[in-house]
Amino acid sequence: MYGRGGTSGSDRTELLPRGYRVGGWEVTEPIASGGWATVYAGRSAGSSASAQEPVEVALKVLPTAGLAPRQARKVAETARREVELGHRAGHPRLIRLLDSVVISDPDRAFLDGAIVLVMERAERSLRDLFDAGVAEADVARLFAEICEGLAHLHGSGWVHGDLKPENILLMADGALKLSDFGLATELTGTAGTHGYAPPMGTLDYLPPERWQAPLGEHGVEVRPSADIWALGIMVHEVFASGASPFPGATPVARGAAVQEYAEGRAPLRIDSALPPFWRALAADCLAPSHADRAAHSAESLLARITARSAPPRPVRRSRWTRAVPVTVAVCAVAATIWSHAVGDAASGAGEPPGRLRVFNADDGCRERTDRNPQCSLGLAIDPLQPYTVDNVVPTRVWHGDVLAVYCRLPQGIPIIDESDASSTEWYRVRPPAGSTRSSAWLPAVRTTDHPRVPDCPRPESVRRLSASP
């Protein structure tokens, strides 16, 4: 909530005077103020007498004085979440927590007991960048870095819970980091698929299911797909001059439009300013239900963005031109060996040695028997390439399908399923009847079976040669 995206200059920004000491830190100036906290610029105290440069930080102050007991507990819980996540889920794409301090100042009753979180200092928020305008060439890098942070966060068992441009910060070197984890939720449900959080959040970024989520004793249910929805809103905003894809003059009105869409009474209206790739990505992120969005993890979205933005590999000519045909011939032979080694069995020369049953980690899909398209799973063409729509065979499979399996590849591209289980293991399988392909690949996270089959040969020689200049 800091950068210049908050409301500065309010009465609360005068809580701490310049030069005020908070533990080993010194306040320099106010930055912004939000509903529960005020953020100040600060630096390491006493640095001027040291040979080292002062450490520039942000001081997030959460006062507790004058609050009702329930409100004070809410503030303390917010701070606890940020501290816990800061200690357990550190990553270059998450803002770093440096210290936490409780102010003891009986002479200033309004400050006594305030909680201060000391964090890395950012230069501005993503909202500031959106307001200034973002070149399309920079969009891919920004959203790839957001997805990197989300993939780590989700993989560590947390949901951000309040993802929005104000909570995504840009450092002085241009690096992007997720911040403000006061509503972060630890995944504690069955198989770590969901957690519970207070019924709070920024209305414009709440997914449809949150608008009508039942409030239990632990709060409302939260899943990683909530962050994916917020990501889709931001993708739309960056191309549509900050506009939401859901019409309405107020956040509540736009929330009503979200529910109309989720219930099938209104279409998703994506602004024509979005280029085709980003239009498709936003539509996937804004799928109307958790089950629909679950297939689009932060990791899979990252793979789509990086695959699209990766520059073509330069062809470098060698002075030793006679070696080129030899290299090509060796690559061709290695590729042929790979093809025959795993393809002979797939072509029908002998019965596959094993069987496995397809498993869908989504609870709702496992309960269905109607082979709903939204619950279908894809078989990959190549397990060493990003698991995207361009790398999936046309024939789909569903939970409970039994497939013949030829061999196991221990180290393919890593895949994370809807329950955040991760694996690099793949199985080469025979697709269901009717497929035009004799074989395809199933990620190991899509089965709970462990068939006894040989390891697939891996074309290491091809990879080494292709990596050579």
Q: Let me know whether 193 and 282 are in one domain.
A: yes
Find, among 219, 222, 202, the residue nearest to 210 by Cα.
222
Domain hosting residue 199, numbered range:
124-309
Q: Is residue 194 part of a domain?
A: yes
DSSP 192: G
Q: Let me know whether 86 and 224 are in one domain.
A: no
Give the Cα separation of 181 and 97 in Å (integer).
11
- Domain-terminating residue out of 91, 120, 149: 120
| 469: pLDDT strictly greater than 50 | no
- Domain-terminating residue out of 77, 98, 120: 120
Q: Let me know whether 337 and 410 are in one domain.
A: yes
Q: Is residue 5 part of a domain?
A: no
**Total number of residues shown for the chain:** 469
Q: Is residue 204 part of a domain?
A: yes
| Residue type for position 196 | Y
Give the Cα separation of 271 and 21 in Å (integer).
49
Q: How far is CA 410 from CA 356, 424, 457, 464, in A?
A: 16, 6, 10, 18
Q: Is residue 6 part of a domain?
A: no
| 169: pLDDT strictly greater than 50 | yes
| 344: pLDDT strictly greater than 70 | no
| 321: pLDDT strictly greater than 70 | no
Q: Let me know whether 170 and 237 are in one domain.
A: yes
- Asked whether the whole model's pTM tops 0.85, one would answer no
What does the pLDDT look like over 245-277, one tens digit per residue? 999 999 999 999 999 999 999 999 999 999 999
Q: Is residue 363 part of a domain?
A: yes
Out of 152-161, 202-211, 381-390, least confident range: 381-390
> What pLDDT is recorded for position 133?
86
Q: What percent of the chain has pLDDT over 90?
A: 31
> What pLDDT is recorded for position 301?
94
| Residue type for position 35 | G
Q: How far is CA 211 from CA 121, 230, 280, 451, in A?
A: 34, 14, 25, 43
Q: Let me know whether 113 and 186 are in one domain.
A: no
Domain count, the chain: 3
Q: Let me know whether 110 and 129 are in one domain.
A: no
Q: Let me know whether 328 and 252 are in one domain.
A: no
> What pLDDT is recorded for position 88?
65
Q: Is residue 420 part of a domain?
A: yes
Q: What phi and psi values does residue 351 have, to the nearest 5 degrees?
A: -75, 135
User: In a 3-state reduction of DSSP, which class is residue 428?
Assistant: strand
- Domain-terminating residue out of 69, 86, 120: 120
Bigger pLDDT: 452 vs 462: 452
Mutual angle of helices 323-346 and 460-467, in 10-degree steps: 150
Q: Is the distance from CB of 405 to CB of 356 less than 8 angstroms? A: yes
Q: Let me know whether 144 and 285 are in one domain.
A: yes
